Structure 1
Amino acid sequence: MKLEKLLVVIDASQPSHPALERAAWLVRRTQAQLHVVLVEYSAALDGSMLENSLQNRARDALLEQRGNWLQELLAPLQTEGLHVQQDVRWGKRLHETVLEVAEQLKPDLVLKSAAHNNLLRRLLLTDSCWQLMRHCPFPLWLVHHAEWRGNNICTAVDPLHKDDKPAALDHHLISTSQALSTALGMHADIVHCHAPLPRTLLNNTELLATYQQYVNDDAQQHHQAFDKLVRDHQIAPDAAHLLEGAPENMLPRFVRKHEIDLLVMGAIARGRLDTILIGHTAERLLESVDCDLLVVKLPAEK
């Protein structure tokens, strides 16, 4: 994974900008170029109530005001010598405008702050976060508002591909996290969670009689697949973790226990329903981790 061009999404309505802080941290370690985009929109300036020329002048004035504000925000980074460019655009749907910028820029990484709730430590994902996860072809780093240590990366894999993930995705995830680990000096772990069907879901007498054998066979399958993945990537035994239990329960615990700063997960789009599958997890998992989240897809075939 290269780290030469970073795209950061800024929300002027927020009091703090963790995504910009994270991007600056990355740039200091990689000498990457930083492109900062601010998307502005006002419904009052997007109707037919104003005469067109007046409406356009009002929009231009608002964008100029936001541009001046953004320039002040970025001034310390530029003084520090970091390569920073700013981009202020008008857009009704933030994710669509960000995707337009990303398509033009072809960044190695897109960074965006997640929503923030002072009463909760968890990662709160807004609609624009979910839309970017669905549609952004570039790695998407969703930044938590919690304290950043910058020490540990954890990659969640699914070697049996039970959620229809292509086998290549796990290999791509591990290669991505290993490249980040090398470039940023972070320790990298790999984790896989598995859980057999609960006995309570089985109402067939024959199935219940062989339940323990099913549990043993299921565990063996996961062990063999995970061990092969670990061997293929020459991962140290103490960095490979096979956890028994539902991922929505086990992964947040692992993140807290091992002080994970960045959780790397794979994403695939599914069919015409425009839904997304993040590994084999659900929304409740994504919003319960106490760390940044990096969503990675397989590169598009050329």
Structure 2
Amino acid sequence: MSQYQRLLLIINPALRHSQAISHAAALAKASGASLHIAALIPSWKLLSLLEEGDREMARECYLQDHRDWLKDQAKNLRGRGIDVTTEANWADDLQQDILDHVAEMQPDLLIKQVQHEPALKRAFFTPLDWRLLRHCPVPVYLAGEGGLALPRKVVAAVDVSNTEPQGSELNERIIKQASGLALQCEAELHLLFACDISTAYLGDMGGGGLTLSDLGSQLRGELEKSFLDLADQYGVPPDRWHFIEGHPVSVLSEFANAHGVDVIVMGRIQSRGLDKLLGSTTEHILYQVPCSILAI
């Protein structure tokens, strides 16, 4: 049985040429899942300048235009054998409305187009995509502008440096989600670990007379063994194992661009303190890669 039974796609109807519908339709077709498309429209502040009667008429005409467009999209998708329903509504609180839809529908996957925000704006306002990554209770598929709608190359980005039970559990969930996605889409599954051995991290280790270089080599060897054991455990072919040294954001972005990756499957961990302000690896990678991100 497919791991996806119900998919929820949230779109900005003003961006009618985005790839989000293509991505969602391809996943629904491959998995046999039903697809609900919700066009949630932020309140149009300019309407407040109109008289009340004109304002209501303008709101209704604007909404009806998007509903008619969605109706045409749904007709085309049904012609491809996809079970699809649609809605278009105003949203006073976009994040809460999306989370309410998730709570009501209980989808297996929330799909949304990546919304690029300037770095200066991110310094003062937490992007909607980041907030969804932090608060959405189901896996979030953020469709990028590049990559194929139906994935052909899926990368499971794991972290074997976290030896706590929750770290192992998250790696297992990442690999299972990535494996299921690759199987449904007949895509290649790759396993990648970005090994970031920082001087600060090594400084916390008991040296036992070893030099910093010795500690680095020792730690690298232990992490590589853990990664190879993990890859072998899940039956990933050896030519698709990627142990790469460097910062995770840099490693993943360079690998995705160099190897034509369609989807990176990553974990998302609740951020606290300064990390919450700066954003996690998963949050920052959204702006560094053209492909899609599936956050578990």
TM-score tier, shorter chain, comes to 0.7 to 0.9
Distance, in Å, in 2 between the alignment partners of 1:62 and 1:33 is 27
Structure 2 partner of 1:7: 8
Question: Is 1:254 equivalent to 2:255 in the alignment?
Answer: yes
Distance, in Å, in 1 between the alignment partners of 2:70 and 2:277 is 33
Structure 2 partner of 1:151: 152
Q: State the secondary structure of the residue aligned to 1:141.
A: strand
Distance, in Å, in 1 between the alignment partners of 2:274 and 2:40 is 27
Structure 2 partner of 1:43: 45
Distance, in Å, in 2 between the alignment partners of 1:277 and 1:224 is 31
Q: State the secondary structure of the residue aligned to 2:107.
A: coil
With over 3 angstroms needed to count, the CA separation of the structure-2 counterparts of 1:140 and 1:3, relative to structure 1, is same
Distance, in Å, in 2 between the alignment partners of 1:57 and 1:289 is 42
Give the alignment's Cα RMSD to 1 decimal.
Answer: 3.2
| Residues 268 and 282 in structure 2, CA contact (< 8 A), matched pair in contact too | no
| Residues 269 and 276 in structure 1, CA contact (< 8 A), matched pair in contact too | no
Question: Is 1:28 equivalent to 2:29 in the alignment?
Answer: yes
Structure 1 partner of 2:123: none
Q: Within 5 Å, which residues of 2 pair with 1:197-216?
A: 197-198=198-199, 210-216=211-217
- Offset at 1:79? 2.9
Structure 1 partner of 2:107: 107
With over 3 angstroms needed to count, the CA separation of the structure-2 counterparts of 1:208 and 1:253, relative to structure 1, is farther
Q: State the secondary structure of the residue aligned to 1:85.
A: strand
Q: Within 5 Å, which residues of 2 pair with 1:201-240?
A: 210-240=211-241
Question: Is 1:127 equivalent to 2:127 in the alignment?
Answer: yes
With over 3 angstroms needed to count, the CA separation of the structure-2 counterparts of 1:107 and 1:60, relative to structure 1, is same
> What is the aligned residue count?
281
More helix by share: 2
| Residues 194 and 251 in structure 2, CA contact (< 8 A), matched pair in contact too | yes
Structure 2 partner of 1:78: 78
Distance, in Å, in 1 between the alignment partners of 2:89 and 2:295 is 25
Q: Within 5 Å, which residues of 2 pair with 1:125-204?
A: 127-148=127-148, 150-161=151-162, 166-198=167-199
> Normalising to structure 2: TM-score of the pair?
0.82
CA deviation vs aligned residue, 1:147-182 (integer Å, no higher than 9, x gap): 416210001110121899632101110011111111
Supply the AA of the counterpart residue of 1:251.
Answer: L
Q: State the secondary structure of the residue aligned to 2:92.
A: coil
Q: Which moved more, 1:26-35 or 1:157-166?
A: 157-166
| Residues 116 and 145 in structure 1, CA contact (< 8 A), matched pair in contact too | no
Structure 2 partner of 1:299: none
With over 3 angstroms needed to count, the CA separation of the structure-2 counterparts of 1:282 and 1:191, relative to structure 1, is same
Q: Which moved more, 1:217-226 or 1:60-69?
A: 60-69
CA deviation vs aligned residue, 1:19-46 (integer Å, no higher than 9, x gap): 100111112222211100011221245x
CA deviation vs aligned residue, 1:276-295 (integer Å, no higher than 9, x gap): 998x7265433111311111
- Offset at 1:198? 4.4
Q: State the secondary structure of the residue aligned to 1:90.
A: strand
Question: Is 1:98 equivalent to 2:98 in the alignment?
Answer: yes
Question: Is 1:266 equivalent to 2:267 in the alignment?
Answer: yes
Supply the AA of the counterpart residue of 2:76.
Answer: P
Structure 1 partner of 2:291: 291
Q: Which runs of 5+ in 2 are unaligned?
A: 118-125
With over 3 angstroms needed to count, the CA separation of the structure-2 counterparts of 1:95 and 1:273, relative to structure 1, is farther
Supply the AA of the counterpart residue of 1:20.
Answer: I
Distance, in Å, in 2 between the alignment partners of 1:153 and 1:258 is 11
Structure 2 partner of 1:300: none
- Offset at 1:116? 6.4
- Offset at 1:61? 4.5
- The percentage of aligned residue pairs carrying the same residue is 25
Distance, in Å, in 1 between the alignment partners of 2:133 and 2:59 is 29
Q: Which runs of 5+ in 1 are unaligned?
A: 118-125, 297-302
